[in-house]
Structure 1
């Protein structure tokens, strides 16, 4: 689990996405507890690394434990943690706890301050300048939770490719998720899993 480079290096995106829940994340001294993540593996059609290395996704092909920052739909920055095997974990939401005044100033509102990847990046002041930086050194600070948190999981949201994969994770009973978790629907008996 975070705060040592070795812990980032030993986890694929799914394990890292679970492991980051409940961790404290600060960027330049502003942040809070991670309450929602999504995992993207290298062989996942929704992953930016799926079609191979490009200048835009090169950070995903570097060392794990680094920030991968990209612009979504040309509007919002999204903050990810590079995982082992060229995967990544999208940080979808945190509970705002430290530097809330700065977050409000950056967002221009108190509503849903860090709930959703675009809102979170804006509240924390994350832009492409942070792309490729290691999370074990300033401006980042990541600290593992003191106890293993209780998690919920569900399917990923806001994507069109492989949305059925249950790789969205949340801190149970958090009020800061970007969207509620819904129970998974049973799969059709005759359907096969193409993973």
Structure 2
């Protein structure tokens, strides 16, 4: 089944991009900026190292999100073999799966069906990882030890606000229904 739906992706873009990006505009200036020579006219905008960093970061964020989705199904008793063949669930005659009498209900996103919990864990993993990445963006050249996230108090607000908004979507029932999400319990937060 799809890990995240269109509304989930729109939510991630809305909540994880705007506030942190705006706050990053208030980063303290790098004291060595004026001592560095300007970039050459023929130098690429995206260096090979920067491209490599984007690929690695995107790779581990994607793997963590999909991994959290798969892990949540595993925790609920759905073997990976069944998850890989979820489209054939109507042909399974082995009885219930993950506590659902009708096997396909384990993969449905409607009320009382199983996909909502896995998607919630995956979406929350993605939101939290994006906020952690934002905290690591205070400086492109210096480590977090030399320039910690609290060097930009606006960034702390720009990260806290999306987390609180996401919590509202999870725990305020009308919003959770619109987003087809379920409130996370302690075990699911441990996965995130």
Fold shared per TM-score above 0.5? no
TM-score (norm 1): 0.23
Which structure has the greater CA radius of gyration?
Answer: 2
Report 1 or 2 for greater relative contact order, CA contacts < 8 Å, sequence distance ≥ 6.
Answer: 2
TM-score (norm 2): 0.24
| Structure 1 or 2: more helix by fraction | 2
| Structure 1 or 2: more strand by fraction | 1
